[in-house]
Structure 1
Amino acid sequence: MKPEPNRSMEYHVLPPKGLLNDPNGLIYYKGLYHVFFQWNPHGTDHSFKYWGHATSSDLVTYEYHEAALQPVDWFDKNGCYSGSAIEHDGKLYLFYTGNVKSEEGERTSYQCLAVSEDGMSFKKLGPVTRHPEGYTQHMRDPKVMRGEDGVFYMILGAQRDDLTGDTVAYRSEDLLSWEFMGSIMSVREKLGYMWECPDILKLKGKDVFVFSPQGLEPEGYRFNNIFQTGYYMGCFQGGRFHWDGQPFEELDRGFEFYAPQTFVDEKGRTILFGWMGTMPSEMENAMPTVKEGWVHHLSLPREVSTAGGKLVQVPVEELRSLRHEKKEYSGRNIGFEIPHRAYELGIRLEGNVETFDLLYRNEIKIRFEAVGRRFIVERTNWATSLRETRSVTLDGNLKSIEIYTEETSMEIFINSGEEVFSLRYFAKEDDRKVSMEIEGAGSGIEAVSYRLESGRE
């Protein structure tokens, strides 16, 4: 029997039951978008890791399938950890990390391969690499890609023996035999104790190295989550990433975003999914959805590009098909009630904006202050009941905001995707109020809203 979510979520990938974390194996294969994900179908903790599997023809509605990979073999018996997918000779290749723990709790990691001819049933071929010297067993999350030279490259999140983070590369001619190449970094900045979920984005005019370092200390508005996700700009060639030297830049300024992965679809777009769920254990255990038997979901699919030396993210255009009941608002003070908790709100700001404030369901507060160009998002921490904020300094004035919300999540796209905030939230069931206010000479708000509904029965 195929698992199927049974909740009032409209357009995110979520677990049929249990716990979901990292997106895995994203690919467009044989006419379908395949979205795999880390999945514990047995509970809402991290004790088991399968590869869950969903497919879509439109990136809007998803069909859920039986688990693609299960931790039942000697090389993955304690978890089929994160990885990626690639098509070769008409077959779908899944690369993942097999996690094995001894009775003493010692970890061994194996980089493994499974192959499919239909995208639904997979044959495991077991480990395909040897563990290199100089690195601990914290090596995982293989991302496999074909280089411009026709050679296949595998990059892996890693930890050196000196307990600092790194990313390493292997090369292969056939996806079966792999040669170790060493660190991908020509110059390596010290960032935490482990780099997870590495990815290389080949975008117009620039390559982007995305990864998720663990162990960064907060720096003002930066690095305030338990773990971070960000990127370097540069050039990836021959298994090495030549970094431009720009500082590590956070990919998402919100509260939970982590472990993103990208793929290139049949239209040539680079599309990203992330996990909206990394948080301290006390928050995870206190998630209200635990009572319903599930936790966490993926982000919206986002099309990514570069502009002005930054990575830009916008919701994929297919999500526009969800729009119903368009309403328009204008003025300096606006108030209304939303008809549905799956909702899109587009805001344009005119004139000399000094401050802008938005209150959503008496739970989420958004504020922009022109002095310092500070953009602030505030919510309630459901474990402590205390208010908490995330902030960013914009490159210029605030011009536009696009907000997608569902029952317990919000994604905020600022200035056409220049900055993004992702977060979970829990508001009162019957509170649907939205209010906006702007200050500044000649300033005003133009807003448009939509109820979002997939039409799925």
Structure 2
Amino acid sequence: MQNYTLEAAAKRQNEIQESLKSQPQNFLLPVFHAFSPAGWCNDPNGFSFFGGKCHLFFQYHPYSTQWGPMHWGHLCTSDFVRWEILEPALAPDSDFDCEGCFSGTAIEFEDRHILAYTGVSKNKNGETLQNQCLAEGDGLCYKKILQNPVISAANVPFEFQKGDFRDSKLWCEDGKFYMACVLKMPDGKGSLVCFRSENLLDWKFVSVIDRSSGKSGMWECPDIFKLDGKDVVIFSPQEMKADFENGLHDGNNSVYMTGFLKRPEFIFEREMRTENSLNFAQIDGGIDFYAPQTCLAPDGRRIMIAWMQNWESYITPKNYLWSGMMTFPRELEFKNGKLFQNPVRELLLYRKKCECGVVSGTSSFIKNGFSHGDIELEFFSAFENSADCKNQDEKFSLVLSRNVAGKKFSVEFTCDFAEQTLCFDRRNSVEGGGKINFRKMKFPPSSFRNEKSAYEKRISLRILIDACSMEVFVNGGESAFTNAFFLIPDAFVSSENSAVLEMSVSENIRAEYKIFKI
């Protein structure tokens, strides 16, 4: 069995970083997204401000591009755009976390950076145990406290599946500390529970904040915060069934609920949503969005980041030295009862010279050498009444492609006015785009206006493309659609494999575009 230590993880990370400098893969690295410095990464952890910078930790296995015994990797940034690679913060090197340091959060307290995480171990019978642990540090180096684990199964006053008790959300309120965790009930359903402490060491059970209503299995990665006067709970439910009308898909989803967190009971009362029959909603309709986590910026903005991958669809090329990246950080706000999300405004400072124009009719636009950019698009079509637009071909498509050794690898994003859907297709990317290679979502209702003078269809899109990802923000952030991809097998990567961006529209559509390289 490998002996996992911080020193070994840091050494491995440095080796991979040096190797990447001379590897062809270096041409395809993201430039404005956080991504794994070495090997595998998944959930964002400990997303928080400390020492004047924003820190991002993440689930990390630097020894391969496959999931393995979890460490905590560590990045930091001053502007959410450029990320500094720091040495790993946690390794599974203790009896209480020898099977992995799973997800958690972080807060600043008395000039210390406090990390709350889940320690995974096994008992004498070989059964998996998950308990909550703490570490503290100065922004660079972190040490686990001697009293770990601070919360175990003994703190929970009812039966549950002890191998699924994880993902600690830590916060301070009214001079006390609170920790929310998810656990699996005996029937396999997820539940969100709360504990309270006066000193971070001695914890008492408070409540079941909320639990699965039967539409999902285990819950993961909870976050609780206030936004525009509402209490918000976000989490990632597993074993969901597809519900296209409400934007849900089979398997793992990431959703949010609004309502009222009753105090001192700490029980969440969900608010029924007006646009559907559910009291929760999908955060992002794309293939690759999971385990979102937020932090509160010093200027009051609530910022969200998530893992840009899907558990059901692994797409990293075989010889890559890194696997996994994060979404670009997003500012959150509520408008008209809905969660809006947009790229943090700092990205605007990195925009280079604008290229703008109009695409109409059946015309197209082709741009060579495009791999990293920020695109703004406005589409419009109008008819005298809604009946006139039936059976009309009204599509916009954006295709990003690379030609390698006589073969074209591509991904296509389509906006279909007639069908009222957005689609992403990566079936023609490397290795067919994985097990899940196509995703479709509905337009937001705000895209359509039926007035006396005309039936209008309008949609505005902001699209971030960064080497191997495409994030689409619809109608000012009303919806989001995030998908990752790879366009070149590692063996064929070179600086000559330039990307081509092609844009085209069908009849009856007018499209205005602005393209900024980053």
- TM-score with structure 1 length normalisation? 0.91
Q: Is the 8 A contact 2:39 2:321 kept in 1?
A: yes
State the secondary structure of the residue aligned to 2:347.
helix
Bigger Cα displacement from structure 2, 373-382 vs 241-250: 373-382
The aligned residue for residue 329 of structure 2 is: 301
The aligned residue for residue 13 of structure 1 is: 34
Distance in 2 (CA, whole Å) between partners of 1:435 and 1:193 is: 41
Q: Note if 1:269 corresponds to 2:301.
A: yes
Q: How does 1:79-158 map to 2 (within 5 A)?
A: 79-102=100-123, 105-116=126-137, 118-125=138-145, 126-131=148-153, 132=156, 133-137=158-162, 138-147=164-173, 149-158=174-183
Q: Note if 1:348 corresponds to 2:378.
A: yes
Taking structure 1 as reference, are residues 70 and 313 closer, same or farther at Cα in structure 2, changes over 3 Å only? same
Q: Note if 1:175 corresponds to 2:200.
A: yes
* Counterpart among 368, 378, 381 of residue 425 in structure 2: 378
State the secondary structure of the residue aligned to 2:95.
coil
Distance in 1 (CA, whole Å) between partners of 2:232 and 2:251 is: 23
Deviation at 1:308, TM superposition (A): 1.6
Bigger Cα displacement from structure 2, 376-385 vs 157-166: 376-385
Equivalent pairs counted in the alignment come to: 443
Q: Note if 1:194 corresponds to 2:218.
A: yes
The aligned residue for residue 454 of structure 2 is: none
Distance in 2 (CA, whole Å) between partners of 1:396 and 1:366 is: 20
Deviation at 1:202, TM superposition (A): 0.8
The aligned residue for residue 361 of structure 1 is: 400
Deviation at 1:336, TM superposition (A): 2.1
The aligned residue for residue 184 of structure 2 is: 159
Distance in 2 (CA, whole Å) between partners of 1:199 and 1:340 is: 36
Q: Is the 8 A contact 1:165 1:191 kept in 2?
A: no
Deviation at 1:105, TM superposition (A): 4.5
The aligned residue for residue 55 of structure 1 is: 76
Deviation at 1:372, TM superposition (A): 5.6
The C-alpha deviation readout for 1:266-313, integer Å capped at 9, x for no partner, is 111100110012232xx42x521x412221111101111111221111
Q: Is the 8 A contact 2:261 2:268 kept in 1?
A: yes
The aligned residue for residue 7 of structure 2 is: none
Higher helix share: 2
The C-alpha deviation readout for 1:358-416, integer Å capped at 9, x for no partner, is 12225333333444633333322754469623212412214210111111111111111
Deviation at 1:172, TM superposition (A): 1.8
The aligned residue for residue 240 of structure 1 is: 267
Deviation at 1:435, TM superposition (A): 1.3
- TM-score with structure 2 length normalisation? 0.81
Distance in 2 (CA, whole Å) between partners of 1:274 and 1:249 is: 16
The C-alpha deviation readout for 1:43-89, integer Å capped at 9, x for no partner, is 11222210000111111111111110110001100100000001112
Q: Is the 8 A contact 1:372 1:393 kept in 2?
A: no
Q: How does 1:207-246 map to 2 (within 5 A)?
A: 207-220=231-244, 222-224=247-249, 226-238=251-263, 239-246=266-273
Distance in 1 (CA, whole Å) between partners of 2:43 and 2:212 is: 25
Q: Is the 8 A contact 2:61 2:69 kept in 1?
A: yes
State the secondary structure of the residue aligned to 1:396.
helix
Q: How does 1:432-451 map to 2 (within 5 A)?
A: 432-440=500-508, 443-451=509-517
Q: Is the 8 A contact 2:400 2:412 kept in 1?
A: no
Taking structure 1 as reference, are residues 438 and 103 closer, same or farther at Cα in structure 2, changes over 3 Å only? farther
Q: Is the 8 A contact 1:26 1:85 kept in 2?
A: yes
Q: Percent identity?
A: 30
Bigger Cα displacement from structure 2, 310-319 vs 372-381: 372-381
The aligned residue for residue 455 of structure 1 is: none
Q: Is the 8 A contact 1:438 1:445 kept in 2?
A: no
The C-alpha deviation readout for 1:12-34, integer Å capped at 9, x for no partner, is 11111100000000111111110
Deviation at 1:97, TM superposition (A): 0.1
Tell me how large the CA RMSD over aligned residues is: 2.2
Taking structure 1 as reference, are residues 21 and 225 closer, same or farther at Cα in structure 2, changes over 3 Å only? farther
Deviation at 1:426, TM superposition (A): 2.5
Higher strand share: 1
Taking structure 1 as reference, are residues 135 and 388 closer, same or farther at Cα in structure 2, changes over 3 Å only? same
Distance in 2 (CA, whole Å) between partners of 1:384 and 1:446 is: 32
Distance in 1 (CA, whole Å) between partners of 2:120 and 2:342 is: 34
Distance in 1 (CA, whole Å) between partners of 2:368 and 2:214 is: 46
Bigger Cα displacement from structure 2, 403-412 vs 374-383: 374-383
Distance in 2 (CA, whole Å) between partners of 1:209 and 1:385 is: 32
The aligned residue for residue 446 of structure 2 is: 396
* Counterpart among 221, 229, 232 of residue 205 in structure 1: 229
State the secondary structure of the residue aligned to 1:184.
strand
Distance in 2 (CA, whole Å) between partners of 1:220 and 1:345 is: 27
State the secondary structure of the residue aligned to 1:16.
coil
Q: How does 1:243-322 map to 2 (within 5 A)?
A: 243-246=270-273, 247=278, 248-280=280-312, 283-284=313-314, 286-288=315-317, 290-322=318-350
Q: Is the 8 A contact 1:40 1:48 kept in 2?
A: yes
Distance in 2 (CA, whole Å) between partners of 1:307 and 1:105 is: 50
Q: Is the 8 A contact 1:200 1:236 kept in 2?
A: no
Distance in 1 (CA, whole Å) between partners of 2:134 and 2:327 is: 26
Q: Is the 8 A contact 1:373 1:396 kept in 2?
A: no
Q: Which runs of 5+ in 2 are unaligned?
A: 1-10, 384-388, 402-409, 448-457, 489-496
Distance in 1 (CA, whole Å) between partners of 2:222 and 2:46 is: 13
Distance in 1 (CA, whole Å) between partners of 2:214 and 2:49 is: 35
Question: What amino acid does structure 1 have at the position aligned with 2:220?
Answer: E
Question: What amino acid does structure 2 have at the position aligned with 1:344?
Answer: D
